[in-house]
Amino acid sequence: MTTTRFSPVVVRELDRRITEALERSAARSTALRADAGQALDQLDVSDALDDEASDTAVALHIEAIALAVSNDHGTAELDAARHRLHSQSYGSCEACEAPIVLARLRTLPETRWCLRCSQSIEVQGRRLTPLAT
């Protein structure tokens, strides 16, 4: 793996950005799971089978759970980014191995790809799978 090109000051800054993003993610996870629970609380079990309010509650519950799962994925990506940051493998594109510009890492510290590869991956609808090398 590539050795990090960042100074200790920048590594500390990126670590702080990842920590802050993890804190926001944890708060979002708590809020989404609370939303999911509150949606279920709206469910009237006695006439849940054919009731528009119950349908809405179930839909809101499912949406909140889906958002929470997506958020969990983001949390895992942030954890992985912190690991890469401290294992010297951070900041190089996993598809083309080019350095990822610092401005991109500051904005999206969990990113695994340079902007060019990220756009290619998104165009192909494979956001989580790097391009073949």
The least distance separating Zn ion from the CB of residue 31, rounded to whole angstroms, comes to 34
What is the DSSP annotation of 28-70? HHHHHHHHHHHHHHT--GGGGGG-HHHHHHHHHHHHHHHHHHH
Residue 125 near residue 105, CB atoms below 8 Å:
no
Among 78, 93, 105, 121, binds Zn ion (CB under 5 A): 93
- What is the size of the binding site for Zn ion (CB under 5 A)? 6
From the list 2-10, 70-78, 103-111, 115-123, the region that binds Zn ion by CB under 5 A is: 115-123
Residue 106, SS3 per DSSP: helix
Q: Identify which of residues 62 and 98 has a Cβ nearer to Zn ion in the complex.
A: 98
Residue 36 near residue 71, CB atoms below 8 Å:
no
The least distance separating Zn ion from the CB of residue 132, rounded to whole angstroms, comes to 12
What distance, in Å, lies between the first and last C-alpha atoms of the chain?
15
Sign of CA dihedral 129, 117, 99, 17: negative
The least distance separating Zn ion from the CB of residue 121, rounded to whole angstroms, comes to 9
Q: Is 105 in the site for Zn ion (CB under 5 A)?
A: no
Among 21, 64, 78, 114, binds Zn ion (CB under 5 A): 114
Q: Which residues bind Zn ion (CB under 5 A)?
A: 93, 95-96, 98, 114, 117
